[in-house]
Amino acid sequence: MGLEVFKRDYYLFDPKNYGRIFIFVDFGNVRPWAKNFWPEENKYKISVEIDIGKLASICNLLNPESKFFYYGYFKPEEVLSQNQEAKSRHSSSIYRIDKARKSGFNVRTKEIKMIPHYDEQGKYIGKIPKCNFDVEITMDTIIKLDKYDTIVLFSGDSDFGTLLGYLKSKGKKIVVISTRDRMSTELESVADKFIPAETMKNLLDYHNKTDTPPVKAEV
């Protein structure tokens, strides 16, 4: 048994009984895994990252028919502002998207919206970013229904419970990969296999994002 096969079977599963595999990575859900993996470094904010290239390599162990990556970007106009934090948010989001493309993912992206946020007394306390891909992932899994036998979902979001239940009713096998604290009961109840992301920590060792070279990418 080769090293890659051993790694695949140890961390994931032998795909021979799973037919054609499609992988869907909801990176907005995956990125916070870093807080679990490296809590001290990420105590106040995520300053170290899940390595997207290594995440792609894990996916490739299953020899999938296709793998999809979903992640939003902060609008380009922020680059023109004088706010350094805004510029950093934009460049960091573009960097992740570009790295996903270079790593062989089919990338789905859209602009992150800044939504006004209020406290319990109705006082405005600022804006929070919002960008979920529930609709896009749902559409992709249904439109491509005849192209795969197994879906591997990197997300523990309970919003996908109904979707996965539907796919299972159509004879699809369901594999969910998530950290234990982010794995919802809705997904766990429908999954044929749940793989705790914590077991993959050593395969996703981070690189400090401040050390990454600047890149340009279209969105």
Strands 173-178 and 150-154: parallel
CB 81 within 8 A of CB 87: yes
Q: Which has more confidence, 101 or 78?
A: 101
pLDDT at 212: 45
CA distance 197 to 176: 10
> Band of the pLDDT at 81, cuts 50, 70, 90?
low
* Residue 14 in this model has a pLDDT that exceeds 60: yes
How many percent of the chain have pLDDT more than 70?
90
Tens digit of each residue's pLDDT (9 = 90 or more) over 137-173? 999 999 999 999 999 999 999 999 999 999 999 999 9
CB 209 within 8 A of CB 52: no
Tens digit of each residue's pLDDT (9 = 90 or more) over 22-80? 999 999 999 999 999 999 888 888 888 999 999 999 999 999 999 999 999 987 665 55
CATH, domain range 19-211? 3.40.50.1010
CB 26 within 8 A of CB 154: yes
pLDDT at 118: 80
pLDDT at 110: 93
pLDDT at 2: 84
> Band of the pLDDT at 214, cuts 50, 70, 90?
very low
* Residue 112 in this model has a pLDDT that exceeds 50: yes
> Looking at residues 106-114, what average pLDDT do you find?
91
> Looking at residues 120-141, what average pLDDT do you find?
86
pLDDT at 121: 76
CA distance 131 to 37: 24
CA distance 81 to 72: 19
Which of 12-16, 35-39, 73-77, 206-210 is predicted most confidently?
12-16
Q: What is the 3-state secondary structure (H, E, C) of the chain?
A: CCHHHHHHHHHCCCHHHCCCEEEEEEHHHHCCHHHHHCCCCCCCCCCECCCHHHHHHHHHCCCCCEEEEECCECCHHHHHCCCHHHHHHHHHHHHHHHHHHHCCCEEECCECEEEEEECCCCCEEEEEEECCCHHHHHHHHHHCHHHCCEEEEECCCHHHHHHHHHHHHCCCEEEEEECHHHCCHHHHHHCCEEEEHHHHHHHCCCCEHHHCCCCCCCC
Phi and psi (nearest 5°) for 194?
A: -115, 125
pLDDT at 208: 60
Q: Which has more confidence, 1 or 9?
A: 9
